[in-house]
Amino acid sequence: MAADWIVETRRLTRVYGDGESIRALDGIDLTVAAGELVAIMGPSGSGKSTLLNILGALDKPTSGEVWVDGCDLVNLKDQDGFRSKSVGFIFQLHNLLPTLTALENVEVPMMGHFNAADKKRRAEYLLSLVGLQDRRHHLPSQLSGGQRQRVAIARALANNPRLVLADEPTGALDTASGEELMRLIRDLNQTQGTTFLVVTHDALVARQTKRIVMMRDGKIEREDIVGSPLEEDLKLWQYSVLGQGILSGSEDVMRMFSLSEREQKVLKTFLRKGMPSVSTYSAKGS
Ligand SMILES: Nc1ncnc2c1ncn2[C@@H]1O[C@H](COP(=O)(O)OP(=O)(O)OP(=O)(O)O)[C@@H](O)[C@H]1O
Ligand SMILES: [Mg+2]
């Protein structure tokens, strides 16, 4: 295994059941470098959670190889040790313990790793990182959904893991809180150097990462490097009805948007080539 990969899988396969078996993961080759921020997208049932569960040693592959943080997870003996040291989890429904305060929830994974005083100090520090120092004595029921997710992030960072696995952390949040949460994850990725793998259905969430892995039917369908906001808007536009209509020269779309032939041509070039045509368009377009 190359030293700078924090995640490396080879032909990773997970089959459920016998008889009519389901290939939840079907030969996944994935490498993630330490310090990356990666989104995993794909339709429901495409294998995203299965992949995360295996990377977090919550499940074992049927075949193939998987290394995380230098550990061979296929032959790993001490699952608990690995989980408490190397990875942090954030789930869609935060699953904080309802009778414990925010501070106590963050302290839970530190049991056996820090003494009482250090535990408290570290939990306070982590809550301040996620902007919740003034809510540390609140119970989960006294926090908003976004605040609970931030506590879950602080808890995931408790033992300073190199890898955090987040399965739809913004799934239960409104768009604004979801974007705020992703900004926090991005900040933590940059300032703490923690590697994040974030499963999401939301393209706006995904584009706040650096790289998007698209899954389908247990396979990696494609990977995208996330560009500048302008490039990303362009990509969204390319896949929209309007963008597709312009690219295919649909007469209906031309009529609907009253586009002249020249405008259509300029827009087509812009959509095909992306960035370089932007200046051409704004300088010459009407
Ligand atoms: N414990 C299980 N037993 C049998 N089949 C399972 C099990 N867990 C998942 N599957 C199947 O494996 C496939 C992948 O499931 P997975 O949960 O990884 O999908 P997902 O991409 O996370 O979907 P979603 O976006 O809905 O969360 C699905 O067809 C699912 O039905
Ligand atoms: Mg899932």
Find the CATH number of the domain harbouring 92.
Answer: 3.40.50.300
Do 190 and 273 lie in a common domain? Answer: no
- Cβ atoms 150, 132 nearer than 8 A: yes
Residue 176 within a domain: yes
Q: How far is the CA of 199 from the centre of ligand 1 (A)?
A: 13
Cβ of 20 closer than 6 Å to ligand 1, yes or no, is: no
Residue 1 within a domain: no
Residues with CB under 5 Å of ion ligand 2 are: 49
Sheet containing strand 71-72, edge to edge, reads: 22-33, 5-16, 63-68, 71-72
Do 201 and 242 lie in a common domain? Answer: no
Residue 66 within a domain: no
Do 198 and 241 lie in a common domain? Answer: no
Q: Report helix angle 229-238 to 241-248, nearest 10.
A: 70
Query: What total number of domains does the chain contain?
Result: 2
Residue 14 within a domain: no
Q: How far is the CA of 167 from the centre of ligand 2 (A)?
A: 7
Residue 29 within a domain: no
Do 125 and 251 lie in a common domain? Answer: no
* Ligand lying closest to the C-alpha of residue 28: 1
Triad 88, 181, 84: Cα angle to 5°: 5
Do 253 and 190 lie in a common domain? Answer: no
Cβ of 247 closer than 6 Å to ligand 1, yes or no, is: no
Which residues make Cβ contacts (< 8 Å) with residue 281, sequence separation at least 6? 266, 267, 270
Determine the pLDDT at residue 273: 66
Residue 18 within a domain: no
Determine the pLDDT at residue 41: 96
Do 177 and 250 lie in a common domain? Answer: no
Do 83 and 198 lie in a common domain? Answer: yes
CA nearest 185: which of 165, 215, 159? 165
Do 169 and 260 lie in a common domain? Answer: no
Which residue's CA lies nearest to atom 28 of ligand 1? Answer: 45
Residue 166 within a domain: yes
Cβ of 45 closer than 6 Å to ligand 1, yes or no, is: yes
Cα dihedral: 60, 28, 201, 168 (round 10): 30
* Ligand lying closest to the C-alpha of residue 43: 1
Q: Where are the alpha helices (DSSP H) in 7-157?
A: 48-55, 79-86, 102-107, 116-129, 145-156
Do 43 and 177 lie in a common domain? Answer: yes
Q: How far is the CA of 143 from the centre of ligand 2 (A)?
A: 25
- Please give the helix or strand (H or E) that residue 190 lies within, else none: helix 175-192
Do 134 and 236 lie in a common domain? Answer: no
Residue 26 within a domain: no
**Can you say whether the dihedral through the CA atoms of 95, 99, 102, 104 is positive or negative?**
negative
Distance, CA of 81 to CA of 94 (rounded, Å)? 22
Do 247 and 219 lie in a common domain? Answer: no
Distance, CA of 181 to CA of 153 (rounded, Å)? 9
Domain residues for the domain of 272 are 232-284
Give the chain's end-to-end CA distance (angstroms, integer).
55
Q: Residue 44 carries which side chain, given as an amino acid letter?
A: S
CA distances (Å), origin 95, targets 67, 83, 156, 168 = 27, 17, 12, 13
Determine the pLDDT at residue 92: 76
Determine the pLDDT at residue 106: 96
Do 110 and 247 lie in a common domain? Answer: no
Q: pLDDT (tens digit, 0 to 9) for every residue of the chain, 286 residues total?
A: 445 799 999 999 999 987 778 999 999 999 999 999 999 999 999 999 999 999 999 999 999 999 999 999 999 999 888 998 899 999 877 689 999 999 999 999 998 888 999 999 999 999 998 899 999 999 999 999 889 989 999 999 999 899 999 999 888 888 888 888 888 899 899 998 999 999 998 888 888 898 999 999 999 999 988 876 667 677 777 777 788 888 888 888 888 888 888 888 878 887 776 544 333 333 333 3
- Cβ atoms 56, 89 nearer than 8 A: yes
Strand partners, 30: 9
Task: Give the side-chain half-sphere CA count within 13 A for 9.
Answer: 25
* Ligand lying closest to the C-alpha of residue 48: 1
Q: Tell me whether residue 49 is exposed, middle or buried, using C-beta atoms within 10 angstroms of its C-beta: 0 to 12, 13 to 18, 19 or more.
A: buried
Distance, CA of 86 to CA of 121 (rounded, Å)? 21
Domain boundary among 226, 241, 258: 226
